[in-house]
Chains A and B, each alone.
Chain A
């Protein structure tokens, strides 16, 4: 009797001891992220569930704002510290990669996992033909948003678009806030403008990452945005993101250009929202706005001992169901191909719009030189819109400014 009791008791004791040791040895992964407030609660819940199912892995999630994440990660890495994994937008990887702060992720995660990603999404995480980022989603694309109560179906050609926009416009010159607008957008912001440039066939860099801004496509695009304001009398001087957004929410604007991140916000504001690609008078007929992704990169300082734990975490977070759950919160097309086929994704109207409009986009370059492009485009675009510069001169100046900026980045 005694012996029979002894054995299970011993086993229990050994089991407790073993699990204590195992618990004590849980591999710790530190993750720095800069998620949108709308996604964070869901994300924290998912990570907690993962830790419950995998007691041998502990994930510390630390939140930062976008800019802070970049600078803090740089500072910490310089001191040989910082997180194992950094979650952020894909345009960070160019900067991190060039300064040796992250390492290729395809050497750590399994080939089977990589195969599961959508091809476009995966490309967004590449730099110099190597994978540096596992994309949670591919998105951030700008599309034409229209209020279905004012515009029944989305205009498909530029002519249709002008017609619809003019029909919905009645401006009170004495009180602009009391007016109705057919079409508004953040016209000073280069991020919006490059969509028109690509739509007219322009590319920002050549194969060697030299800027290519002084060409016919740039002149066409600059002439086009100027025409929107003056020739077609659709734009408004001084229009910025907040004002355009407010007027659209107040149902005073029939159409607006804005990114996937904002769509839910408009629906929540009670707008009967329609999403479509933006037609322009170019060869392919549409503006090609950029797409970008957000995802996970590996710090150069991560220990190889953590490979197994990292794989467990990535396998979990990139299972189709969980990838869909995180992506659905922000209406961005999931990075995992199978997630796009799930019923919860297929039945979500905004998500389908997102997957559809992403077809009319081009990838945003992730090279650090991109900073110089934004700085070169902004003042010259403004000068054209104000009538202080011709599109031809502005294109030349943009090219010159971009080349100078890139020289500065390279420290030449």
Chain B
């Protein structure tokens, strides 16, 4: 009898988390599990309804594919360059905006525009600007005597064009996050540093950066994952998936899955990308110590 009260007490927390758990199960765990199961099958156009179990064959094939490595290196370059500029430009602008400036709020609205704009519209606009004969970019380069560059026909240049576009799209997010972090740093610290006669660089290095770290680290992890998985900019700018020299891992997976209907192989490829990002996030979180009490 006395168990009744205990029973309710024991189950109540589960009841509270049940709705969230059910949603997670349907929205996250099931698709993940299904994707993993797909990666162990030979599902393709011709075996669409009755795929057979092939074990780890798809994974072995991914590692055997000679082009996966070059695509992987390109993806790392793509991610590193993008995130580097997102953070440096974002941080630089955030520090500017954190000062007393006339018309700061208007400036802030303008700077957030790239992030507020739907990505595909921004990508299409940039595509127009990169046009060889009619685009604004070549027009401006022309002022400096640089000849028209075939931005969207040369695979290498298309890749650079995609990086430029994505940097433009991504820095406002880092700027807003940094600004939030900067505003939470107490002005007393800077005053104390001023009294000690610290240089601006010293203040930035020893006060701003360490105190921004807990805010910036999750943003950098998120930014890295987003950039790593950024599909639409490259596909829109390159006008499809034709050029192998412009592909990153996710565009390659997309091409294999939805253009060539190679579902099992693409699933194995995606699981590996997922595993890579998971390991990266764990290492980054551990190395940067953000979840340890003393760093906050």
Task: Tell me if B242 counts as interface (CB < 8 A to partner A).
Answer: yes
Task: Tell me if A342 counts as interface (CB < 8 A to partner B).
Answer: no
Asked whether, in the complex, the Cβ of A409 is within 8 Å of the Cβ of B45, the reply is yes
Report the Cα distance A100→B51, complex, angstroms.
Answer: 12
0/1 per residue, B129-169, Cβ < 8 Å to A? 00111110000000000001010111100000000000000
**Which one, A98, A101, A378, contacts B240 given CB within 8 A?**
A378
Q: Which residue of B lies closest to A300 (CB)?
A: B49
Categorize the interface residue count of chain B.
Answer: 20 to 34
0/1 per residue, A227-258, Cβ < 8 Å to B? 00000000011111011000000000000000
Report the Cα distance A405→B255, complex, angstroms.
Answer: 11
Stretch of A51-59, A114-122, A145-153, A367-375 on the interface side? A367-375
Asked whether, in the complex, the Cβ of A237 is within 8 Å of the Cβ of B260, the reply is no
Task: Tell me if A74 counts as interface (CB < 8 A to partner B).
Answer: yes
Task: Tell me if A78 counts as interface (CB < 8 A to partner B).
Answer: yes
User: What residues on B are CB-neighbors of A374 within 8 Å?
Assistant: 242
- Tally A residues with Cβ within 8 Å of B: 34
**Which one, B133, B243, B260, B264, contacts A372 given CB within 8 A?**
B260
**Which one, A176, A379, A405, contacts B133 given CB within 8 A?**
A176
How many pairs of A and B residues are in contact by the CB < 8 Å rule?
A: 89
User: What residues on B are CB-neighbors of A371 within 8 Å?
Assistant: 259-260
Report the Cα distance A71→B254, complex, angstroms.
Answer: 13
Asked whether, in the complex, the Cβ of A188 is within 8 Å of the Cβ of B153, the reply is yes
User: What residues on B are CB-neighbors of A378 within 8 Å?
Assistant: 239-240, 242-243
Q: A238-B134, A368-B261, A386-B154 are in contact. Are A100 and B48 (CB under 8 A)?
A: yes
**Which one, A239, A240, A379, A409, contacts B261 given CB within 8 A?**
A409
User: What residues on B are CB-neighbors of A411 within 8 Å?
Assistant: 42, 44-47, 262, 264-265
Q: A237-B148, A375-B241 are in contact. Are A74 and B48 (CB under 8 A)?
A: yes
Q: Which residue of B lies closest to A236 (CB)?
A: B133
From 356 to 404 in chain A, residues with beta carbon under 8 angstroms from any chain B beta carbon are 368, 371-372, 374-375, 378-379, 382, 385-386
User: What residues on A are CB-neighbors of B256 within 8 Å?
Assistant: 408
Task: Tell me if B258 counts as interface (CB < 8 A to partner A).
Answer: yes
Q: A99-B46, A100-B48, A411-B47 are in contact. Are A385 and B153 (CB under 8 A)?
A: yes
Give, as a whole number of angstroms, the nearest-CB distance from A178 to chain B. 11
Report the Cα distance A239→B46, complex, angstroms.
Answer: 38
Asked whether, in the complex, the Cβ of B134 is within 8 Å of the Cβ of A176, the reply is yes
User: What residues on A are CB-neighbors of B133 within 8 Å?
Assistant: 176, 236-239
User: What residues on A are CB-neighbors of B134 within 8 Å?
Assistant: 176-177, 238, 243
Report the Cα distance A374→B44, complex, angstroms.
Answer: 19
**Which one, B48, B128, B154, B239, contacts A101 given CB within 8 A?**
B48
Asked whether, in the complex, the Cβ of A386 is within 8 Å of the Cβ of B260, the reply is no
Report the Cα distance A372→B256, complex, angstroms.
Answer: 11
Report the Cα distance A29→B114, complex, angstroms.
Answer: 46
Give, as a whole number of angstroms, the nearest-CB distance from A311 to chain B. 27
Report the Cα distance A8→B240, complex, angstroms.
Answer: 70
From 199 to 242 in chain A, residues with beta carbon under 8 angstroms from any chain B beta carbon are 236-240, 242
Asked whether, in the complex, the Cβ of A71 is within 8 Å of the Cβ of B258, the reply is yes
**Which one, B153, B240, B242, contacts A238 given CB within 8 A?**
B153
Give, as a whole number of angstroms, the nearest-CB distance from A199 to chain B. 23
0/1 per residue, A180-196, Cβ < 8 Å to B? 00000000100000000
Q: A378-B242, A386-B150, A409-B262 are in contact. Are A240 and B45 (CB under 8 A)?
A: no
Q: Which residue of A lies closest to B48 (CB)?
A: A99
User: What residues on B are CB-neighbors of A410 within 8 Å?
Assistant: 44, 46
User: What residues on A are CB-neighbors of B48 within 8 Å?
Assistant: 74, 78, 98-101
Task: Tell me if A95 counts as interface (CB < 8 A to partner B).
Answer: yes
Report the Cα distance A109→B46, complex, angstroms.
Answer: 27
Q: Which residue of A lies closest to B154 (CB)?
A: A386
B148, B152, B261, B262 pick with most chain A CB within 10 angstroms: B261
Q: Which residue of A lies closest to B261 (CB)?
A: A409
Report the Cα distance A337→B109, complex, angstroms.
Answer: 60
Asked whether, in the complex, the Cβ of A368 is within 8 Å of the Cβ of B45, the reply is yes
Give, as a whole number of angstroms, the nearest-CB distance from B244 to chain A. 8
Report the Cα distance A242→B261, complex, angstroms.
Answer: 29
Give, as a whole number of angstroms, the nearest-CB distance from A215 to chain B. 21
Asked whether, in the complex, the Cβ of B239 is within 8 Å of the Cβ of A188, the reply is yes
Report the Cα distance A334→B265, complex, angstroms.
Answer: 42
Report the Cα distance A379→B241, complex, angstroms.
Answer: 9
From 22 to 73 in chain A, residues with beta carbon under 8 angstroms from any chain B beta carbon are 71
User: What residues on A are CB-neighbors of B45 within 8 Å?
Assistant: 95, 98-99, 368, 409, 411
Give, as a whole number of angstroms, the nearest-CB distance from B123 to chain A. 14
Report the Cα distance A239→B243, complex, angstroms.
Answer: 18
Report the Cα distance A408→B48, complex, angstroms.
Answer: 15
User: What residues on B are CB-neighbors of A177 within 8 Å?
Assistant: 134
Q: Which residue of B lies closest to A380 (CB)?
A: B242
Q: Which residue of B lies closest to A67 (CB)?
A: B258
User: What residues on A are CB-neighbors of B239 within 8 Å?
Assistant: 188, 240, 378
A residues engaging B (CB < 8 A)?
71, 74, 77-78, 95, 98-101, 176-177, 188, 236-240, 242-243, 368, 371-372, 374-375, 378-379, 382, 385-386, 405, 408-411
B residues engaging A (CB < 8 A)?
42, 44-49, 128, 131-135, 148, 150, 152-155, 239-244, 255-256, 258-262, 264-265
New A-B contacts (11) at CB < 8 Å, excluding given A375-B255, A410-B44, A411-B265: A99-B49, A100-B48, A101-B49, A176-B134, A188-B239, A368-B45, A379-B155, A379-B242, A386-B150, A410-B46, A411-B42
9 closest residue pairs by CB, A with B: A238-B132, A99-B48, A378-B242, A411-B44, A379-B242, A176-B133, A408-B260, A237-B132, A238-B133
List 5 contacting pairs A-B, 8 Å CB cutoff, sorted by A.
A238-B131, A375-B240, A375-B255, A379-B242, A411-B45
